[in-house]
Structure 1
Amino acid sequence: MRFSGTSLTIAGCLLASISEASKSSSASSSCQLHNVETYPPPPVPEPISIIKLPLPPSIVSDEVGACTKDINPNGTGCLRIVLTGDDSLPQGGTFTPDGTAIVVTVNFTGAPAQPDPASIYSGEHIILLKTDNTTFSSGDPWKCITCGVPAASQLGRNKDLLDYPRVFKDGKRFLVGTNIVETGGYPVDSELVTPNNTYIYPIYWPVTGDGSGSTGAMRELRLHPGDHHLSWSSFDGNGQNSFYGRLTFNPVPTTGEPRVPRYDLSNVSILQPATGNGVLYAEGNELKINQSVPEIGELRGFSGSGKEFTYIGYPMEACNFDGFAVNLLTGAVRRLTSHPEYVDPMDISADDEWTAVLDTRGTDRQMFMSGMRGIPPLSDLVTSGICASVRNNGMRRFFRPILIDKYGDRGDYFGQTINAGGDGSPGSINDPNWNARADPQFSLDGTRLMYYETLVKTPACGGENPLPCPVSTEPDGRTTRIMIATFTSRKPYPVPKFDIGPDVIPWAIPYVPGMELPVRQSISPGKYTYKGKHCGYADVAIYANANSTRFNRVRVDLHNLSEDGENILNGFEDISLEYLDTWTVLNDWRSNIVQRGKVKGVKETSPGGFQIQMNLRKNLLEANGTLTTTLDGKTYYQPKNNA
């Protein structure tokens, strides 16, 4: 049975009974619904042209010599096609400063044995890929930069995945994985760059008090536009933390391993506020939310100018993960997105005027759980793992590239879908079976955007999965493609002069090698009241197992609550959390919320509740019962199991 709600007058947000109002001092007898926020008008949709960049020939076999001269007459390598599971390579990177090429991570296979010159095209490497319809002297639009580099020129190289390649603004180096590649003082796309003048240096982050040992664990490194600093993420027993530090070349290190020429990180900051509460905190028995606090969930890099960090933060609305930016110096936070679908990878143009995001908006993937707006993010204490993982089906991402102006989502404006111009047919630019992967990248003149896509394949389709597997229409049956979107009505602007980033982040925690990483502040189990931003309140009960600080249940009862000044919520959510193993979680979800106001809606579970189980690494959904959200007559249902 649906929650009937409390009778109310929208114009005055009148609470129906004195007894209800007396339950909390936060409930006002009269609360006017209005939205005083004003925004500039949204931009007019602009024309966008999209092309696919050519790549080296692709083959399935990984046998020695499978990449024959018949397949690649120039002997410049073949890419490996993975028929099942993850096939995230090639992975597109940033543009060169002049915009004529991008750096790309690829996986070569089938190379002949030595002494054939083509034997160097084996394994993961970085290529330059032309974007201007020209070719290198080989006659190919690609050129491998790291193939054939002598062992003596890559001492101590970190062997991790060569992911997220990024060209320095000086154009003569690039970051890839946890290494920096230098190209002999020449621009990376110069014909003068050869294996013999290319060097691969490891990055070293000291994490012991005496500077001994190997580097600290780093992932998803991002380069500050000023060329002198990096940001990165790291995991420990307390979860994920984000860091920022100064990058300096050390030709003769005397501590740490490896003691070879390398790049060292110093002046490191932990990107957590040094003082104060987190986004969600308690004062006595009252819960409060302060979205001006930079609580970084997953670091995404920097704004185009480098004045801000970008990240996925604590939700502003229940189950709705958004992009945020925080100023490096002031700590001022701004919300980049607000659409209830899931956003993750993002890039901001060099002039800071535009944001490109990869988002599930338009797919309705998340709407069954996050579509109702204005629910305060309280149940997220136990649902964040599930809410952040439904966006995927195994290795399939449901991301689409979206262009948003600097003021972000607002009103009825939710950006422009970049690849909306296709006809949806197999292989078209908006074929729904092709999904975007991290990260999109603007050219430095603001006129183009690189994004890359992978085709859904088994086990995310076919077999027991209700989605049939599509047949690739790309050359050689390739299942990855690199796209260039050109904003045809824009004029290129001069490449900005980028300032060097600060060595100190005033609001962050200075990192001292060997220190124990701080634990994020949290609230205690108990019963609380939360005041709506415009009117009404919520009773909140937070539970944990005995002798544990890990929450296992949250119940939220909403009483004429309005967060946005446009809608009023009544009803409840009662959600429990169980860890079945380290990575597998189960939410037992009971919801019955009625929304009145600008949007009429109901969020409800079936009589026996909604049980949803996911392995957070594999992103495979298994559910019993139903959770649906109906907004102005349109109902959104959860995805089918494992689909």
Structure 2
Amino acid sequence: MHRFASITAALGIISQVAGAFHAQRASDEQALSTPSPEPITVTQLPLPPVADSKVGSCTPEINPNGTGCLLKSSQVASGNFLPDDKHVLVSMNFTGAPAAPDPASIYDGSHLALVKADGTSFSSGDPWKCITCGVSEENKVGSSGLAPYAQSFRDGKRVLVGTNIVDCGEALLASDDCTPDKVHIYPLRWDNEADGSGPGGVIRELRLHPDNVHIGFNSFTYSNGQLGQLAYFGRLEFNPSPKTGEPRSARYDIVKVTRLFNPDSPQLFSTEGGELFLNRSAIAVGELRGFSGRGKEVTFIGNPVESCNIDVFAADLTTGNVRRLTSHPEYVDPIDVSPDDKWQVILDTRGTGRQMFMAGMRGIPPIIDLIATTVASSTRNNGPRRFFNPWLLDRDGDRDNYYGQQVNGDGDGSPGSINDEDWNAAADPKWSYDGTRIAYTENLVVAPSCGGSNPLRCPKSTEPGGRVTRLMVAHLTDRKALDLDPVDEVSDDIPWGVPYEPGSEAPDRPVIAGGNYTLKGEVSGSADVTIINDTKVPGAIKTVAVKYHEYSDDGVHVIDGSERFTSTVKSITDNHVDWYSDLTLSGETTGTKKTSPDGFHLEIDTMTNIFNANGTLTTTIDGKEWKQPQNGT
């Protein structure tokens, strides 16, 4: 499944963040100890057998218990554990069911299921149970697709999945008492009209707050010639008999909503006279990614604080204090924080070299990133294929030479092994409630991300029936189970946000006016900056050009040379880029970031992520060359 969440930075969203751009952040990380690698055992959880889409192809010979088959070419989407830590939530695509009135006819289409994580089986004899198969139409009025990001409530009876809440009434989801006739699928609605009319606003990337009362979500915008999005925080309120809005059936309303962006607050960049200022104490959220384990912080993708380096940040919901959680030059997006807030698991391209050709040089301020984040995000995929692996980091995140531990790093790399490079992780990884396990999904690379016009070969699946998806659990074998009190309910009010008024217009993100500016390095040197606005797209920036003179913000990385970046918007999601770079790095490390003499020219659509460039962009660090991906990959 292509994840819109990963588009967020790629759409030119500028998220203001606090903290220094390099590994030595505001807290003195030199004094922080780094954890030693710990033993991790990775296993697979069972999934239904596979079949094709032909009616009746899921025969009794394939599944004797008549509890459904997976579409062979489909991908499952894992969620979190149920509170008992014995079951993992999974969205899966059932297929091949016999025609009605056969009882097995209900196993068809996209559904929410449970998979046993303790080696036992349900009363059916299978280690999986479909929760929403067979739910009547009257019990799911107004509901939508049951993927992705299934998230269990602490009561073990409800699940947030997609833009719905699946509810089994008084019955535990994992119990035999939870039968299809007791299950309701309630839609979620965000009121975006002053009179309460209509279907409500379009919401995406929903995340349940640990207090089980609040929710975070994102919504797309279009301003300054670019597609973007804003993040929101609100309270879930069950509405059994709505009087306004659609649908007029039982639903969950998202009320007391706060927009997590304030255009009147200090921004990342500001100008005064001919000087450009980089304000690292400014805060705002680009795309919301979730919450800390105890619910005091929101995690999000922020605008790069090092050029072309997409990172995850956390902001305190009360104070607005921002922490940079990752700093590795590769691309990170999904994150889940452990229930006790002491650890985090991320999905990252680190170790693959995928993004190093553009992000490998450290210490470059994020000036071209005013318009370059589309490239930084879009190039980390090969079509629907991601290059993610799960990584374990402590609370303080990347620092010095600590970049965490690869969760699945102990395999031999052979076909089908836990670290087979042809299997890539899919969002989102999730901690167990007791903090001893991590569940995540992996998908095998398939055409068109390989084969045909793509220069990469297509591997053969080693999974049962040729399945191209698998459900993994990492066991942190030396850890003791946590026993934590439920998370206290947090306030509806976010002091640094803006209360949302239904019907109000989404604010534009401020754009720097065209002109010539000087940015002074925090330690030494300066940068001459030229910004040219787009004459065809009001409020948009067309070109950013920078000339560095012994520029350094940390005294460790010194930047010299020039860079010029021009973005031509061909459609809402399709950009053409002309990039010229001739930078040198000196200090503790040395390097260059250079385009070919005729420049680097890339056209990429953020919805398809197919790399197609003319010319080259190469970064060399201490003699190691990092080259761009092949076209078509």
1:153-192 Cα deviation digits (max 9, x unpaired): 22222x2353211100121111011111111212221221
Distance 1:292 1:457 in 2: 43
CA deviation after TM superposition for structure 1 residue 582, in Å: 2.9
CA deviation after TM superposition for structure 1 residue 125, in Å: 0.4
Alignment of 1:311-326 (within 5 A): 311-326=300-315
CA deviation after TM superposition for structure 1 residue 327, in Å: 0.9
Q: 1:37 to 1:94 in 2, by over 3 A?
A: closer
1:463-493 Cα deviation digits (max 9, x unpaired): 1211110000011101011100010111111
Which residue of 2 is the match for residue 338 of structure 1? 327
CA deviation after TM superposition for structure 1 residue 581, in Å: 3.0
Distance 2:459 2:318 in 1: 49
Match of 1:169 among 136, 154, 159: 154
Distance 1:103 1:120 in 2: 19
Indicate if the aligned counterparts of 2:91 and 2:146 stay in contact, CA closer than 8 A: no
1:362-409 Cα deviation digits (max 9, x unpaired): 000000100000000000112110111111010000111010100110
**Is residue 2:43 matched to residue 1:51?**
yes
Which residue of 1 is the match for residue 72 of structure 2? 81
Alignment of 1:542-553 (within 5 A): 542-546=531-535, 548-553=538-543
**Is residue 2:583 matched to residue 1:593?**
yes
**Is residue 2:81 matched to residue 1:123?**
no
How many residues align? The count is 602
Indicate if the aligned counterparts of 1:278 and 1:293 stay in contact, CA closer than 8 A: yes
Match of 1:489 among 478, 496, 499: 478
Distance 2:308 2:162 in 1: 31
**Is residue 2:444 matched to residue 1:455?**
yes
Match of 1:393 among 382, 386, 394: 382
CA deviation after TM superposition for structure 1 residue 545, in Å: 2.7
1:17-38 Cα deviation digits (max 9, x unpaired): xxxxxxxxxxxxxxxxxx9753
1:270-305 Cα deviation digits (max 9, x unpaired): 110363222122223222222332332221111111
Which residue of 2 is the match for residue 642 of structure 1? 632
Aligned partner letter, 1:435: N
Match of 1:178 among 147, 160, 163: 163
Indicate if the aligned counterparts of 2:329 and 2:360 stay in contact, CA closer than 8 A: yes
CA deviation after TM superposition for structure 1 residue 605, in Å: 1.0
Structure with max Cα Rg: 1
1:527-556 Cα deviation digits (max 9, x unpaired): 111111221111100112336321111111
Aligned partner letter, 2:629: P
Which residue of 1 is the match for residue 141 of structure 2? 155
**Is residue 2:595 matched to residue 1:609?**
no
Q: Identity of aligned pairs, percent?
A: 52
Indicate if the aligned counterparts of 2:301 and 2:312 stay in contact, CA closer than 8 A: yes
TM-score by length of 1: 0.92
The secondary structure found in structure 2 opposite 1:296 is: coil
Residue ranges of structure 1 left out of the alignment (5+ in a row): 1-34
**Is residue 2:211 matched to residue 1:226?**
yes
Which residue of 1 is the match for residue 193 of structure 2? 208
Distance 1:199 1:171 in 2: 14
Distance 2:179 2:405 in 1: 42
Alignment of 1:439-454 (within 5 A): 439-454=428-443
User: Could you tell which deviates more after superposition, 401-410 or 563-572?
Assistant: 563-572
Which residue of 2 is the match for residue 42 of structure 1? 34
Distance 1:459 1:309 in 2: 36
Indicate if the aligned counterparts of 1:186 and 1:193 stay in contact, CA closer than 8 A: yes
Which residue of 1 is the match for residue 269 of structure 2? 280
Indicate if the aligned counterparts of 1:448 and 1:487 stay in contact, CA closer than 8 A: yes
Alignment of 1:467-478 (within 5 A): 467-478=456-467
Which residue of 2 is the match for residue 110 of structure 1? 96
Distance 1:335 1:152 in 2: 46
Which residue of 2 is the match for residue 302 of structure 1? 291
Alignment of 1:525-540 (within 5 A): 525-540=514-529
The secondary structure found in structure 1 opposite 2:519 is: strand
Indicate if the aligned counterparts of 1:350 and 1:496 stay in contact, CA closer than 8 A: no
TM-score by length of 2: 0.93
1:591-637 Cα deviation digits (max 9, x unpaired): 11111110011111111111111111100111111111111110100
1:169-225 Cα deviation digits (max 9, x unpaired): 121111011111111212221221111111111112111111111121111111011
**Is residue 2:115 matched to residue 1:133?**
no
Aligned partner letter, 1:79: L
Distance 2:275 2:390 in 1: 40
Distance 2:601 2:465 in 1: 42
Q: 1:161 to 1:296 in 2, by over 3 A?
A: same
Which residue of 2 is the match for residue 3 of structure 1? none
Which residue of 1 is the match for residue 238 of structure 2? 249
The secondary structure found in structure 1 opposite 2:378 is: coil
**Is residue 2:136 matched to residue 1:146?**
no
**Is residue 2:559 matched to residue 1:569?**
yes
Distance 2:515 2:327 in 1: 30
Distance 1:587 1:485 in 2: 40
Distance 2:499 2:150 in 1: 27
The secondary structure found in structure 2 opposite 1:118 is: helix
Distance 2:458 2:600 in 1: 29
Distance 2:484 2:134 in 1: 33
**Is residue 2:616 matched to residue 1:630?**
no
Distance 2:522 2:462 in 1: 51
Indicate if the aligned counterparts of 1:277 and 1:521 stay in contact, CA closer than 8 A: no
**Is residue 2:60 matched to residue 1:69?**
yes
Distance 1:104 1:564 in 2: 45
Aligned partner letter, 2:306: E
CA deviation after TM superposition for structure 1 residue 62, in Å: 0.8
Match of 1:510 among 499, 516, 522: 499
User: Could you tell which deviates more after superposition, 346-355 or 144-153?
Assistant: 144-153
Q: Cα RMSD between the aligned structures?
A: 1.3
CA deviation after TM superposition for structure 1 residue 435, in Å: 0.6
The secondary structure found in structure 2 opposite 1:388 is: helix
1:233-272 Cα deviation digits (max 9, x unpaired): 1113232111111101111111111111111111001110
Distance 1:138 1:469 in 2: 37
Aligned partner letter, 1:69: P
Distance 2:272 2:106 in 1: 63
CA deviation after TM superposition for structure 1 residue 495, in Å: 3.4
1:63-108 Cα deviation digits (max 9, x unpaired): 11111001000000001122xxxx4x31000101121001100000
Aligned partner letter, 1:308: E
